[in-house]
């Protein structure tokens, strides 16, 4: 199988540890070039990570003949344009989450990649991490019986950015929303992987603290196509930290954290079992390996443009202002 040469558009923080080294350490994968609009920062990244070439224009990186596939690691506002650029060049795309700013943009990206006959894959890497695959294994093995309900609680205190530095993750024009969009998508996407698609969702969102423009608290109710009912509360100006998702079934429950590395807890019948499974040093590397294998024709990647569009759709439904309520 051939080695995939990668080009990265947007070599920011997420590429330093979470993803960037994964392209260099995965089998049959190499990082050929990186791009950032600030050429000095692109050059610095390339020097520190041993990347052969750097660019300050996305068009130049995409045109590099040694770049076989594109990793889009920009903030969400630029995902669509970078994906369309890569598709026009006939190059597969691996794009950061959330997939885009809206369902409409996701559909544009999918249509462009289908027309170009190139894969579109998305960085929902919990679909490949061992600790999350353990949760999926427990549910599918019937350890909790038939799944009936899901509860999600994610509470985080507000942490202001360093003086003079904007926090793009709470700027709706850049991120498509606030920390709900940035963080809740991981849990919702993983639940889609375990329990299947969500067929309906609704919610209430508010900005209670007034610290930024985006929502800072979101409550939701949702239903999976298989009949499992779900609720969630995401609160980003909380005085305490909570990170807990539970899948409840007819024989027990499994509880896990989406961001912390707390042990997975299985409670069924008269026993409680904990599974302490740490994350690897580069959390995207297992999914990157699946992406490389997908592009090489060796395996199917479980995180695609189609699955990621579903997650964006769910978040849009939750954040949609109810009739008669001013957004």
- Cβ burial of 263 (10 Å; 0-12, 13-18, 19+) is middle
Res 324: pLDDT = 45
In whole numbers, what is the pLDDT of the chain averaged over residues?
A: 96
Please tell me the distance from the alpha carbon of residue 26 to that of residue 161, in angstroms, as a whole number: 33
Q: What is the pLDDT of residue 326?
A: 41
What is the Cα–Cα distance from 278 to 264, expressed in whole angstroms? Answer: 10
Between 260 and 324, the more confident residue is 260
Q: What is the 3-state secondary structure (H, E, C) of the chain?
A: CCCEEEEEECCCHHHCCCCHHHHHHCCCEEEEEEECCCHHHHHHHHHHHCCCEEECCHHHHHHCCCCCEEEECCCHHHHHHHHHHHHHCCCCEEECCCCCCCHHHHHHHHHHHHHHCCCEEECCHHHCCHHHHHHHHHHHCCCCCCEEEEEEEEECCCCCCCCCCCCHHHCHHHHCCCHHHHHHHHHHHHHHHHHCCEEEEEEEEECCCCCCCCCCEEEEEEEECCCCEEEEEEECCCCCCEEEEEEEECCEEEEECCCCCCCEEEEECCEEEEECCCCCCCCCHHHHHHHHHHHHCCCCCCCEHHHHHHHHHHHHHHHCCCCCCCC
Token output for 144:
């909790």
Give the model's confidence band at 162: pLDDT under 50 very low, under 70 low, under 90 confident, else very high: confident
Q: Tell me the per-residue pLDDT of 175-225, one tens digit each, with 9 for 90 and over.
A: 999 999 999 999 999 999 999 999 999 999 999 999 999 999 999 999 999
The pTM score is 0.96
Record the tokens describing residue 21, joined without a space.
């080294």
Give pLDDT tens digits for 257-297. 999 999 999 999 889 999 999 999 999 999 999 999 999 99
Please identify which residue in the block is written with the tokens 């041993």: 50
Decide if pLDDT at 163 tops 60: yes
More confident residue, 324 or 95: 95
Structural domains in the chain, CATH included, are 4-126+283-302 (3.40.50.720), 130-278 (3.30.360.10)
Q: Is the pLDDT of residue 86 over 90?
A: yes
Q: What percent of the chain has pLDDT over 70?
A: 98
Q: What is the pLDDT of residue 322?
A: 60
User: What percentage of residues in the chain have a pLDDT greater than 90?
Assistant: 95
The strand pair at 252-256 and 242-249 is best described as antiparallel
Q: What is the pLDDT of residue 166?
A: 87
């Amino acid at each position: 199988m051939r080695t995939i040469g990668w080009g990265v558009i947007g070599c920011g923080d997420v590429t330093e540890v979470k993803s960037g080294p994964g392209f260099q350490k995965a089998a049959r994968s190499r990082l050929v070039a990186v791009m950032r609009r600030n050429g000095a920062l692109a050059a610095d990244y390339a020097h520190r990570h041993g990347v052969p070439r750097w660019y300050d224009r996305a068009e130049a990186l995409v045109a590099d003949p040694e770049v076989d596939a594109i990793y889009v690691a920009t903030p969400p506002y630029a995902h669509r344009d970078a994906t369309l650029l890569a598709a026009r060049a006939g190059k597969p795309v691996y794009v950061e989450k959330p997939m885009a700013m809206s369902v409409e943009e996701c559909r544009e990206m999918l249509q462009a990649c289908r027309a170009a006959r190139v894969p579109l894959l998305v960085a929902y890497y919990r679909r490949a991490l061992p600790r999350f695959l353990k949760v999926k294994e427990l549910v599918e093995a019937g350890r909790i019986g038939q799944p009936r309900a899901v509860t999600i609680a994610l509470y985080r205190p507000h942490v202001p950015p360093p003086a003079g530095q904007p926090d793009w993750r709470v700027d709706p024009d850049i991120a498509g929303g606030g920390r709900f969009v940035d963080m809740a998508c991981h849990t919702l996407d993983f639940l889609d992987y375990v329990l299947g698609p969500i067929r309906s969702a609704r919610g209430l969102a508010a900005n209670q603290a007034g610290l930024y423009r985006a929502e800072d608290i979101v409550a939701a109710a949702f239903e999976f196509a298989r009949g499992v009912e779900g609720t969630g509360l995401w609160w980003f100006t909380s005085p305490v930290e909570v990170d807990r998702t539970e899948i409840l079934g007819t024989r027990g429950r499994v509880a896990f954290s989406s961001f912390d590395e707390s042990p997975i807890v299985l409670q069924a019948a008269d026993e409680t079992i904990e599974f302490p499974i740490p994350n690897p040093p580069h959390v995207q590397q297992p999914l990157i390996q699946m992406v490389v294998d997908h592009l090489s024709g060796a395996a199917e990647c479980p995180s695609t443009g189609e699955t990621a569009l579903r997650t964006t759709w769910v978040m849009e439904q939750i954040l949609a202002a109810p009739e008669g309520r001013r957004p």
